Amino acid sequence: MLKTGIKRFYKAVAVKHESHGFTLLLDGKAVKTPAGRPFLAPTRALADAIAEEWRAQDADIVPDTMPLTKALNTALDRVASHRAEIIEDLAKYAGSDLLCYRAAEPVELVRRQRGTWDPWLAWAAERFGARLATATGVAHIVQSPEALARLKAAMAAQDDAHLVALHAGVTITGSGVLGLAFATRALSPDEAFAAAHIDEDYQAELWGRDAEAERARARRHDELRAARRFIDLLAPADAA
């Protein structure tokens, strides 16, 4: 449905309340997911924001400008039928979590890693009972099976929609801990992104930045911000 190059084929966009959520209507016809499932948003706020994405399309439909539509399609089609596989893949990040592999030098990089990463490892230990070990270098750290099981259980506790955002948080940061902090809104997208790029930013201060790498970095940052907006729109209207 959201293939590149499709001409806009509708004029009116509306939202309709159904018994299990809110559906999108294009010229009065209910939208389906690419797999043919009902396209139902769990909250009115999300449905309205998705409707605005469709209204904003010009002569051609440009999927890259519709991140909320893509996220909901992913939740309804892919996550709903591949939950166990997705959770298993995300749990592997916790087993080799970015936050656990530290530089031995220089002193300034060591200081930045400790100052930013230690509080989030402490957060994971307090919130989930998952205490991860750290070490310098790149040799694999054998983490406590209990800690990894607790982090995996925290990931599995996310519903399908939140699992989409968790996937973005984990894969973009390279950290199960940062991903969980992001998905539970304990960490903003900008904070999560900065925490995940401490090493890269330090090296850039010394040697400068590559233009192509910066464009790729900006795309990942935008993806994380879009995932956070998706999470925010999933919150009930009366949520704080």
Answer with the residue of higher pLDDT: 175 or 237: 175
How far from chain centre, in Å, is Cα 49?
18
Burial of 172 (0-12, 13-18, 19+ CB in 10 A): buried
Same domain, 128 and 93: yes
Q: Residue 113's pLDDT band (boundaries 50, 70, 90)?
A: very high
pLDDT in tens, 44-97: 999 999 999 999 999 999 999 999 999 999 999 999 899 999 999 999 999 999
Range of the domain at 45: 13-65
Judge if 124 and 43 occupy the same domain. no
Tell me how many domains the chain contains.
Answer: 2
AA letter at 150: R
pLDDT tens for each residue of 149-196 = 999 999 999 999 999 999 999 999 999 999 999 999 999 999 999 999
Q: How confident is the model at residue 5 (pLDDT cuts 50, 70, 90)?
A: low
pLDDT digits (tens, 9 = 90+) for 190-228: 999 999 999 999 999 999 989 999 999 999 999 999 999
pLDDT band at 141 (very low <50, low <70, confident <90, very high): very high
Q: Is the pLDDT of residue 2 over 60?
A: no
DSSP reduced 3-state for 138:
coil
* H-run or E-run covering 135: strand 135-136
Query: So what's the pLDDT on residue 11?
Result: 96
CATH number of the structural domain spanning residue 48: 3.30.2180.10
CB 161 within 8 A of CB 230: yes
In this prediction, residue 199 carries a pLDDT of 96
> Residue 45 is encoded by which pair of tokens?
């706020």
User: Looking at residue 138, what is its pLDDT?
Assistant: 87
Q: Provide the CATH number for the domain around residue 184.
A: 1.10.3580.10
Within this chain, do residues 87 and 178 fall inside the same structural domain, yes or no?
yes
Backbone angles phi, psi at 102, to 5 degrees: -110, 150
Does one domain contain both 53 and 111?
Answer: no
pLDDT band at 1 (very low <50, low <70, confident <90, very high): very low
| Among 25, 44, 65, residue at a domain's last position | 65
CA dist., res. 75 & res. 84, Å (int)? 13
Q: Answer yes or no: pTM beyond 0.75.
A: yes
Q: What dihedral angle (degrees, nearest 10) is formed by the CA atoms of 134, 135, 141, 143? A: -20
Q: Does 215 share its domain with 120?
A: yes
